[in-house]
């Protein structure tokens, strides 16, 4: 057995980062060396407290820094209570998660949060305590152990922009303790808040207008970018950063592998700016990255940056100075639904072209929908060349995807519909947004089949992209919208609950019955995942490009890696279409095992193909490259 000198390990990791760590910290916090020294003692404490089994995992992952970058990862996102009532229930259902082929689960916030003022758990009142009805910290650690035993990684939200107004710090601030008021943004009058309002946009314009709230007990105004009960933390105060880093490390020490940095672009505020993505945010994320790298290098940071691509990509940092390990591919997600609604792939091609040109080191989380709404952050300047006007276009997308448009079977609901801005966003489960709900309601088997075909095609598109595909729990069996929230006074003003319903275990029982919607979708997703895992062409390191199909309804994606080539075609139209391509002859359609020429390929409504070609190995390490063919790639 190798005996590891833990202290030496810690010191060598600290030394590796020390200069940069101190430089950035002292620059941000005005040379407050005392605060910096305390920060270092925090790192040491959490290193010492880290369980040997987790330290071992850190070491083995450090040997293979690509452990999360392969084509064998499949994620699933879920609320603990909706999936299995509590953490013990999730442990009991790990077999189901494995049956789904999932090896990464993202549990939505589960720390203590006051009922009715929790924003789905995003208002934490105690970072060291699990919400009692979900279990305890020990249950969380047990779940993490079981996950690791079964080869599953665990991701958890770290709600760092704000605390609940019931958090200990907030309570002490309310009681008048200046030291704790300084952990938030308090103002004696509305003068400065009003100045902020001139430049800061609103996150929830209808459900929680404004960025500030009056705090009666103190007689002051407090900054609340999200809901009034979510008090923004002041990261210009080093005590806040030190203590929040400790909270993050505490979660990692429970065995959490991936921390999702919730609402991270918002964590630094400066008057006169939009208080989003300020340079100090990047300094803080870099510091957190280094902190984790010193204490627990087998862990990852996932940034929640729901912004346009130019704002997202900087959160990867640089190769030398990385920030987040993974980010959401949010624009591709929104553009996918735009494409469903318009049956026109031109914007999606443009978006994918931009993603494909990014360094392969960048890992995106790809998804069709999550627990939040779908916001229409599309590339409007690009769309304007086809005559699309932003407000009118958003209205069309919302009309189509909520079923208000003539003959639309899609069943979403609007979110934060602010008539002044015409800026409503959209909610709904993937199945309901694909038309399955309406078809089943009408008992129209033909329509249901077509909607299921669309649902499967969208997942195939998801699985074709580099990065990690993440399914929202329930989507694997085509779960429909849950309208129950309309009856719940604690939820009825937040339509995001329409797609956060309880998991239907009775429906999951049908997943192996091919005559059911559940069986069709589940089996298809399993098959897609298995094909993806079995073929290196889906590796993150693959060369990827947009294939010109000369048909605005068919998206074409090419992939090439280590002698394997894939031409993937997706028909976003509800009528049969032809991809006018002239590519490889005699490919294997991985989806149905048939041999097809990649030449003028006809696709049924919402159909897709995965045309695969393996080149003969000529000699060791070299492959006969399809040089002439690959010139065809277009962006």
Binding site for ligand GLC (CB under 6 A): 119-120, 122, 159, 226, 262-263, 304, 371-372
Q: Decide: 606 and 457 in contact? Cβ < 8 Å.
A: yes
Q: How far apart are CA 359 and CA 366, in angstroms?
A: 16
Question: Minimum distance from CB of 334 to ligand GLC (Å)?
Answer: 15
Q: Which is nearer to ligand GLC, 304 or 476 (CB)?
A: 304
Bridge partners (DSSP) listed for residue 112 = 126
Collect all residues with Cβ–Cβ distance below 8 Å to 87 and sequence separation of at least 6. 80, 110, 130, 134, 135, 136, 139, 140, 142, 143
Q: Is 310 buried (19+), middle (13-18) or exposed (0-12) by CB count in 10 A?
A: exposed
Compare residues 131 and 262 and give the one whose CB is closer to ligand GLC. Answer: 262
Tell me the closest approach of the beta carbon of residue 392 to ligand GLC, in angstroms.
27
Smallest separation (angstroms) from ligand GLC to the CB of 265: 10
Q: State in angstroms the smallest separation of the CB of 54 from ligand GLC.
A: 27
Which CB atom, from 81 or from 466, has the smaller least distance to ligand GLC?
81
Nearer to ligand GLC, 278 or 531 (CB): 278
Q: Is the separation of the CB atoms in 467 and 366 below 8 Å?
A: yes
In whole angstroms, how close is the CB of 262 to ligand GLC at the nearest point? 5
Secondary structure class of 525 (helix, strand, coil): helix
Region for 263 from its dihedrals, namely left if φ exceeds 0, alpha if ψ lies in -120 to 50, beta otherwise = left
Q: Which of 350, 384, 402, 278 is nearest to 635 (CA)?
A: 350
Shortest Cβ 221–ligand GLC spacing (Å)? 20
Please state, in angstroms and rounded to a whole number, the distance separating the CA atoms of residues 444 and 513.
19
User: Which residue of this chain has its Cβ atom nearest to ligand GLC in the complex?
Assistant: 122
**Between 112 and 440, CB nearer to ligand GLC:** 112
- Count Cβ atoms below 10 Å from residue 594 Cβ, excluding itself: 11
Determine whether 262 is an active site residue: yes
Q: Please say if 530 is a catalytic residue.
A: no
The residues, ordered by sequence, that sit 6+ positions from 189 with a Cβ below 8 Å of its Cβ are 221
Q: How far apart are CA 518 and CA 292, in angstroms?
A: 40
What CA–CA distance (Å, rounded) separates 565 from 577?
A: 23
What are the φ/ψ torsions at residue 545 (nearest 5 degrees)?
A: -155, 165
Whole-number Cα distances in Å, 162 to 122, 209, 237: 9, 17, 14
Name the β-bridge partners of 213: 222
- In the complex with ligand GLC, which residue's Cβ is closer, 145 or 372? 372
Burial class (CB in 10 A: 0-12, 13-18, 19+), 319: exposed
Q: Exactly one of 58, 165, 304, 437 is catalytic; which is it?
A: 304
CA 337 to chain centre: 16
Q: CA 98, CA 502: separation in Å to the nearest integer?
A: 19
Catalytic-labelled residue, pool 119, 257, 262, 323? 262
Q: CA-to-CA distance for 58 and 39, rounded, in angstroms?
A: 21
Q: End-to-end distance of the chain based on CA atoms, in angstroms?
A: 53
- At closest approach, how far in Å is the CB of 266 from ligand GLC? 9
- Judged by beta carbon, residue 122 or residue 591, the one nearer ligand GLC is 122
Please state, in angstroms and rounded to a whole number, the distance separating the CA atoms of residues 104 and 95: 13
Separation of CA 275 from chain center:
22
Range 88-122 burial, b when 16+ CB lie within 10 A, else e: bbbbebbebbeebbbbbbbbbbbbbbeeebbbbbb
- Least Å distance, CB 7 to ligand GLC, is 38
DSSP state of 39: H
Q: Which is nearer to ligand GLC, 230 or 466 (CB)?
A: 230
Of the two residues 120 and 626, which places its CB atom closer to ligand GLC in the complex? 120
* Least distance to ligand GLC, CB of residue 136, Å: 23
Catalytic residues: 262, 304
């Amino acid at each position: 057995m190798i005996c590891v000198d833990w202290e030496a390990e810690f010191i060598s990791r600290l030394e590796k980062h020390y200069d940069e760590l101190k430089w950035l910290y002292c620059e941000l916090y005005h040379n407050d060396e005392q605060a910096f020294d305390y920060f270092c003692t925090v790192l040491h404490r959490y290193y010492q407290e880290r369980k040997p089994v987790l330290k071992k995992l850190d070491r083995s992952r450090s040997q293979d820094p690509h452990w999360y970058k392969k084509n064998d990862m499949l994620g699933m996102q879920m609320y603990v209570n909706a999936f299995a009532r509590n953490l013990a229930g999730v442990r009991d259902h790990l077999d189901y998660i494995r049956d789904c082929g999932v090896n990464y689960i993202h549990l939505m916030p589960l720390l203590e949060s006051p009922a009715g003022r929790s924003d789905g758990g995003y208002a934490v009142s105690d970072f060291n305590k699990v919400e009692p009805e979900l279990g305890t910290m020990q249950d969380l650690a047990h779940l993490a152990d079981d996950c690791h035993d079964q080869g599953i990684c665990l991701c958890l939200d770290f709600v760092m922009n704000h605390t609940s107004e019931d958090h200990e710090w907030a309570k002490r601030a309310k009681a008048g303790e200046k030291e704790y008021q300084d952990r938030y943004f308090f103002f004696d009058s509305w003068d400065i808040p009003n100045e902020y309002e001139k430049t800061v946009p609103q996150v929830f314009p209808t459900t929680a207008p404004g960025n500030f709230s009056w705090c009666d007990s103190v007689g002051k105004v407090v900054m609340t970018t999200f809901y009034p009960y979510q008090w923004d933390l002041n990261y210009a105060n080093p005590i806040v950063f030190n203590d929040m880093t400790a909270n993050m490390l505490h979660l990692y020490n429970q065995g959490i592998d991936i921390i999702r940095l919730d609402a991270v672009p918002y964590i630094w505020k400066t008057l006169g700016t939009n208080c989003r993505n300020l340079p100090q945010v990047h300094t803080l994320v870099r510091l957190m990255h280094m902190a984790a790298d010193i204490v627990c290098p087998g862990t990852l940071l996932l940034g929640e940056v729901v912004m346009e691509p130019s704002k997202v990509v900087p959160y990867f940092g640089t190769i030398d100075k990385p920030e987040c390990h993974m980010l959401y591919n949010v624009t591709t997600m929104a553009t996918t639904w735009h494409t469903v609604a318009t049956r026109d792939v031109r914007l999606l091609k443009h978006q994918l072209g931009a993603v494909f040109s990014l360094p392969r080191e960048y890992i995106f989380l790809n998804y069709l929908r999550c627990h939040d709404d779908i916001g229409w952050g599309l590339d409007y300047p690009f769309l304007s060349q086809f005559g699309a006007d932003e407000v009118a276009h958003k209205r069309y997308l919302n009309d189509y995807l909520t079923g208000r448009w003539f003959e639309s079977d899609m069943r979403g609901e609007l979110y934060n519909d602010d008539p002044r801005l015409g800026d409503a966003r959209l909610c709904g489960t993937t199945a309901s947004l694909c038309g399955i709900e309406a078809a089943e309601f009408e008992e129209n088997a033909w329509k249901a089949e077509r909607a299921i075909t669309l649902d499967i095609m969208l997942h195939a598109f998801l699985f074709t992209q580099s990065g990690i595909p993440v399914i929202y729990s329930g989507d694997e069996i085509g779960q429909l919208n849950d309208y129950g929230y309309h009856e719940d006074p604690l939820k009825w003003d937040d339509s995001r609950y329409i797609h956060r319903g309880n998991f239907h275990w009775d429906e999951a029982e049908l997943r192996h019955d091919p005559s059911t919607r559940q069986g069709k979708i589940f089996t298809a997703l399993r098959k897609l995942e298995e094909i993806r895992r079995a073929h290196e062409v889906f590796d993150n390191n693959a060369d990827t490009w947009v294939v010109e199909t000369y048909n605005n309804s068919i998206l074409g994606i090419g992939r090439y890696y280590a002698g394997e080539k894939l031409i993937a075609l997706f028909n976003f139209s509800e009528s049969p279409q032809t991809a006018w391509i002239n590519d490889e002859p005699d490919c294997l359609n991985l989806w149905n095992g048939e041999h097809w020429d990649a030449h003028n390929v006809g696709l049924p409504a919402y159909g897709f193909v995965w045309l695969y070609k393996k080149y003969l190995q000529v000699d060791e390490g070299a492959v006969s490259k399809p040089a002439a063919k690959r010139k065809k790639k277009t962006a």
